[in-house]
Amino acid sequence: MTRLRRLCLVGIAGAVAGTAARIADPSGSTGALVFLATGLVLGELLVLRSENGATVPLSYAVMLVVASSFHAAEFAAAVAGAELIAAVLWFSDRESGSHVKTLVLRPVVAAATILAYDAVQSVLHHREQLAVVLAALAAAAAAQVAVDTGARRLLRLRLSVSRRARLAWMAIASSGVLMSIGYRGVGGEGKFGVWGPLLFSTPLLATWYAFERLDAATRAYHQTIESLAMAPEFGGIVPEGHSKRVAALSVAMAAELGVSASDTRDLEMAALLHHLGQVTLDEPEDPAQRVSAAEVAAVTGEMLREIKPLAAAGDIVAGEASAPRRRVAVQILRVASDYDDLTARDGNLPEVAMETLRSAPGYVYDAKVLSSLELVAARAPELEVEGADLNV
């Protein structure tokens, strides 16, 4: 079942159940609780995704609404019911690996949400003062972040602390607070009922849509680069998987050496594409001859520098980086590529390859960069990456 169908199914079923509950209990809050529980299920199906695939569900915003407006038992029932339905939908998807862990994570976050909210309300007494309500909601949102992050570390689920992840949490928290106030009001004022969370969720839904578009565009961009990186492999110029292995090694070494995130991105692009220029060169008359590495670097660097977003990667490939931080990137790429040539192409053992690199004259390889390679290679002696299927 597609996500759109699931969303429609849940939305329609929730609307019917909520209306029925409201008819059966016109003066009570059961109908509203059913509507909000539906929001929790829908929020489980819509997530804000970071670069590394770590997610924050929109249901956390709805959790704030329910925690701030209902008793603990009602909150527990709504969360349990919603998670149960979400679990059924997840498992029908057959991608159940991480969902089992998510099923453990959500109740823990839910418990932290209501405990934090109630704790601040109890301590500050004036439950219907705007400042107290805002403080309690902020504490509940902060508890969600802390507990979700901690639990993800324990459960070894994907976790991100990138700028995009921080923005995702901010969007969830601010929308959750707004939706909560929209639902319950403060001191009897500004009470919109279920219309509040419904309408105030619009900015959050716009945020979700923007995240989805960005995620799809980023994925397409990286896949296009990776696809281009495979051309030299298909052309028989480099061994299968060379570009991806060099990219993975380079990124790991950059992390060891404390290279900034943006420089690491440029380095990764440079590593993926560092042989691309060779496909544009004429084949040598004598098959035993090889095109010189310097010529390949110059041609590739020139090509990449003509493309604005890849200009920095072009400098790294061409080895013409003037800034010290870029010179580190140039060194990393050189070491990673030569190491992969020695191991994957020439069939040397990692220790032999390391020794060969170490025994080169001092001006060829930077000692710090070699040390970082040693650390990375010791941690993951064989970087498993998917290369081109050359059986075409």
| Residue with Cβ nearer another protein (51 or 374) | 51
Q: Provide the minimum distance between the beta carbon of 34 and another protein in the complex, in angstroms, as a whole number.
A: 18
Long-range contacts, stretch 257-264, CB < 8 angstroms, 24+ apart:
257/328, 257/332, 257/368, 257/369, 257/372, 259/325, 259/328, 259/329, 259/332, 260/325, 261/162, 263/312, 263/325, 263/326, 263/329
Q: Provide the minimum distance between the beta carbon of 219 and another protein in the complex, in angstroms, as a whole number.
A: 6
| Residue with Cβ nearer another protein (283 or 351) | 283
| Residue with Cβ nearer another protein (74 or 234) | 234
Interface residues with another protein (CB under 8 A) are 130, 134, 164, 167-168, 170-171, 174-175, 177-178, 181-182, 185-186, 189-190, 192-193, 195-196, 199-200, 202-204, 206-207, 209-211, 213-214, 216-221, 223-228, 230-231, 234-236, 276-277, 279-283, 303-304, 306-310, 388-389, 392
| Residue with Cβ nearer another protein (81 or 387) | 387
| Residue with Cβ nearer another protein (14 or 182) | 182
Q: Provide the minimum distance between the beta carbon of 373 and another protein in the complex, in angstroms, as a whole number.
A: 28
Q: Provide the minimum distance between the beta carbon of 215 and another protein in the complex, in angstroms, as a whole number.
A: 9
Render 127-149 in DSSP notation, one character per residue. Answer: TTSHHHHHHHHHHHHHHHHHHHH
Which amino acid is present at 334? Answer: R
| Residue with Cβ nearer another protein (102 or 244) | 244
Q: Provide the minimum distance between the beta carbon of 198 and another protein in the complex, in angstroms, as a whole number.
A: 9
Tokens standing for residue 67: 């925690």
Burial of 124 (0-12, 13-18, 19+ CB in 10 A): middle
Q: Provide the minimum distance between the beta carbon of 220 and another protein in the complex, in angstroms, as a whole number.
A: 5
Q: Residue 64: left if φ>0, alpha if ψ -120 to 50, beta else—which one? A: alpha
Place of tokens 């707004």: 178
Residue 317 CA to chain centroid, in angstroms?
Answer: 27
For residues 332 and 254, the answer to whether their CB atoms sit within 8 Å is: yes
Give per-residue burial for 363-389: e unless 16+ CB within 10 Å, then b: eebbeebbebbbebbeeeeebeeebbe
Rounded Cα–Cα distance for residues 246 and 313 (Å): 14
Query: How many degrees, rounded to 5, is the angle at CA 358 between CA 357 and CA 360?
Result: 70
| Residue with Cβ nearer another protein (145 or 370) | 145
Q: Provide the minimum distance between the beta carbon of 235 and another protein in the complex, in angstroms, as a whole number.
A: 4
| Residue with Cβ nearer another protein (161 or 199) | 199
Q: Provide the minimum distance between the beta carbon of 177 and another protein in the complex, in angstroms, as a whole number.
A: 6
Distances (CA, A) of 334 to 229, 245, 309, 346, 366: 17, 13, 21, 16, 10
